[in-house]
Amino acid sequence: MFEIILRQLTMWRNETAKLEGVDSFRVLPNKALEEIARCAPRNKSEMIAIKGIKEAKFAKYGKAILDIVQKGDVDIRDLKENKDNLNYFRDVMKGSSLKSIETETEKQKTFGVGEFLDFLNEKMAETGSKIKGEVSSVDEREKVVYFSLKDKNDESVINCLIFRYQYEMLGVKLEEGAEVIVEGCPEIYKPYGKLSLKVNVIELEGEGALKKEYEKLKKKLDEEGFFDERTKKKFVGLPQKIGLITSREGAAIGDFTSNVGQFGLKIKFINSSVEGKRAVYELIDAIRTFEKMNIETLVIIRGGGSLESLQAFNNEALIREAKKIKIPIVCGVGHDKDVSLLSLASDYAVSTPTAAARLIGGLWEREVDKIDYFEKNIFEGFEEQIKDLDRKMKDFLFDTENNFQKIIRNIEDGFENFITSKLAIINTNITKKTGQIDRHGENVVRRFEGNIYHLKNIIEKAENIVKLNDPARQLKLGYGIVSKDGANVKSIENIQKDDIVKIRFWNGEAKSQIKEVKKIKE
């Protein structure tokens, strides 16, 4: 898909440059086209994140580029409404060659050396190819690895180079005599006019060589503990936020989403190639992107394949990158015989995308089953508790009734015994005290009589005092008792003019109204 999109983008760029009367690289440089084809942007924000695409470029070319990426075609309305140009573009889209048309234009132009080499490099950048050959020399430098490929049939040689970071990421060790397949574009180094193949993909040729490298890397990673079960991360709770990496073109994505179950999972998807060495770059980029996102589990899947088609998943750089991530990784990569090294290093490895989906969905299914089980047990247990409580209540009431009757009987018997014993004690005490009472009886009587006589004298004296102080006696002497509202008036301050007062005499009483209040000076 990368090659198809890149080819369509290149044709669109060349035609747009022709219509605008500028060099092709003025529209978009090669690197920008390659990045667009690799990332396959779906909207404006994704496109302007690509180096070389700014707001002005997007405003001018964005719609046409998005149409190519998403549909594999161009909306010809974005080109000038010129019949000849439209016919030319249709011919290009049908596969007709650009050479004759471009040559007619370039014949009229005289190039400078540097300009001509730029022109050649630009044209050669459109001719990316795969080349098979035997490594005849290797020179590893700090930033670039130089090597040469030789044709075994006629001893033809081509000089190649690859940037060091790409070389290390691909995980292929170049050795003299090894057969490899490389992918790249020819480029002339302007200061020397030297032609080299600028490589971005290297693959070992042959199942035997791949198997050898597979076993070698497997041993190395095993010795470093990459496959140790003790280092593998476990699910924390139920994963709900899932990161998914696979190709949107394959069946794996459908197998996963249709089998993961309806549990409200939030699945974030990043499209990536899953075959060929180029897939390594995209897979690593996807992992790094997800590492910055809020997800709980990362799932990497693709359908089955041979050792050759699964080379990307046996890449050391990819495996090391995956091991860095702090969340569990589920790897569902199908295979014929040999399990991919990424699967061995992952926290959970299954054989197919469907199995990966069922692994995650199964976690939720088991929890749902537990809920049903607990719900059933709760109701059954509650019923049993109610029945048990009912039985205990009946037993309690029965026991209480019997115990109450026993208590009443015990109280009655105890009270009767208590009364009997107390009466016996009282009778005994009465008998003992009877003699004492008889002996002291006379003394008591005598003392009582003396007290009566003495009390009589006190009463008579008190009676005389009462009689002397009796108000009635005073009333008979002509005095009266004045009262107001039921209370005796003891002072002139207690009454006022017009008050109604009651006057009591020794043989009656009268009401009177105060006409004048006059205080007597002492």
**pLDDT digit string (tens) for 107-136?**
556 888 988 888 888 888 777 788 999 899
How far is Cα of residue 342 from the mean position of the Cα atoms in its chain? 27
Report the distance separating Cα 444 and Cα 40, nearest Å: 131
Residue 65 token pair: 């580029």
Report the distance separating Cα 28 and Cα 9, nearest Å: 10
Count of all residues that appear for the chain in the document: 522
Contact 483, 502 (CB under 8 A): yes
Tell me the DSSP string of 337-359: SSPPHHHHHSSEEESSHHHHHHH
Segments of the chain with pLDDT less than 50: 73-106
3-class SS string, 372-383 = HHHHHHHHHHHH
Residue 301 contacts by C-beta under 8 Å, 6 or more apart in sequence?
A: 244, 245, 246, 252, 253, 255, 256, 331, 332, 333, 353, 356
User: What CATH fold (topology level) applies to the domain 208-434?
Assistant: Rossmann fold (3.40.50)
Q: Please write the tens of the pLDDT for every residue from 131-178.
A: 999 899 999 999 999 999 999 888 799 999 999 988 888 878 898 888
DSSP β-bridge partners for residue 149: 135, 158
Boundaries of every domain in the chain: 2-121, 129-205, 208-434, 475-513
Sheet holding 508-513, edge to edge: 487-488, 481-484, 500-505, 508-513
Report the distance separating Cα 245 and Cα 330, nearest Å: 10
Helix 316-324 to helix 278-291 angle, to the nearest 10 degrees? 10
Report the distance separating Cα 355 and Cα 300, nearest Å: 12
Residue 52 token pair: 């070389």
pTM of the model: 0.46
DSSP reduced 3-state for 127: coil
DSSP β-bridge partners for residue 269: 244
Residue spans of alpha helices (H) in 224-263:
252-259
Report the distance separating Cα 353 and Cα 252, nearest Å: 6
Contact 346, 329 (CB under 8 A): yes
User: What CATH fold (topology level) applies to the domain 129-205?
Assistant: OB fold (Dihydrolipoamide Acetyltransferase, E2P) (2.40.50)
pLDDT for 74 equals 43
Contact 272, 247 (CB under 8 A): yes
DSSP reduced 3-state for 247: coil
Residue 346's nearest CA partner among 371, 364, 321, 370 is 321
Give the count of beta carbons closer than 10 Å to the beta carbon of residue 10: 21
Which architecture does CATH list for 2-121?
Orthogonal Bundle (1.10)
Residue 509's nearest CA partner among 480, 488, 474 is 480
DSSP state, 521?
P
* R_g (Cα) of the chain, nearest Å: 58
Instruction: Work out the widest C-alpha separation in the chain, in whole angstroms.
Output: 173
